[in-house]
Amino acid sequence: MAEILQIYKIFEKKFGSEEAGKLTEALETFIKEKKRELKQELKEELLKELVTKQDLKVSEQSIRALIEQVRGDLQSQIEQVRGDLQSQIEQVKGDLQTQIEQVKGELQSQIEQVKGELKAEIEQVKGELKGEIQGVKNELLKWLIVLFVGQATFVVGLVFTLVKVLKG
C-alpha cells in the first residue's frame, strides 16, 4: 500500500488531488484484477499438472495388468518347457524301452542313471525358472515403489507450491 501512496503523491503533483485519487484508484483496481487473473491462471495450470487419484488408479491398473501379462507369459513358458521336457522324457522312455527289450539285463543300471539325471535336470530347470520369476517379481515391485515415491514427491512439491502461491 505504500507504493500506491507514493504513486498518488506523484499524480497529485501532476494532476491535482481529485484526478490523482481517480488515477490511483483505477491503477489499484487494475492491479487487483491482474493479481486475481494471474492467481486464477496459475491455479488452473497447477491443477492441470496435479496427479489425481484417478491417474494413480489407472497407473496401478496398468501395472497390475502388466504383472498379470508377465505371469501369463511365464506360465505359458513353464508349460511349454514342461511339455517339451515331457515329450523328451517320453521319447527317451520309448528309446530305452526298445533297448531294454534288446538288452534288458545290460541296460538296467543305465536306465536308472538316465532317469536320475533327467529328474535332476527337471529340478534344476524348475529352480532356475522359480528364481527368474522371483527376480521379475522383485524388479516389478522395485519399479512400482519408485513410481509411487516419484508420484508422492511430485504431489508434495505441488502442494507446497500451491500453498506458497495461495499465501503469496
Q: Count up the domains in the chain and report the number.
A: 2
Indicate if 40 and 92 belong to the same structural domain: no
Residue 139 lies in a domain: yes
Q: Is the pLDDT of residue 156 over 70?
A: yes
3-48 pLDDT tens trace: 888 888 898 999 999 999 999 999 999 999 999 999 999 998 887 7
Predicted local distance difference test score (pLDDT) of residue 1: 67
Indicate if 39 and 89 belong to the same structural domain: no
Indicate if 85 and 159 belong to the same structural domain: yes
Grid cell for residue 91: 521319447
Residue 33 lies in a domain: yes
Range of the domain at 42: 2-46
Distance between CA atoms of residues 8 and 20, nearest Å: 6
Indicate if 94 and 149 belong to the same structural domain: yes
pTM of the complete model:
0.32
Predicted local distance difference test score (pLDDT) of residue 155: 93
40-80 pLDDT tens trace: 999 988 877 776 777 778 888 999 999 999 999 999 999 99
Indicate if 153 and 99 belong to the same structural domain: yes
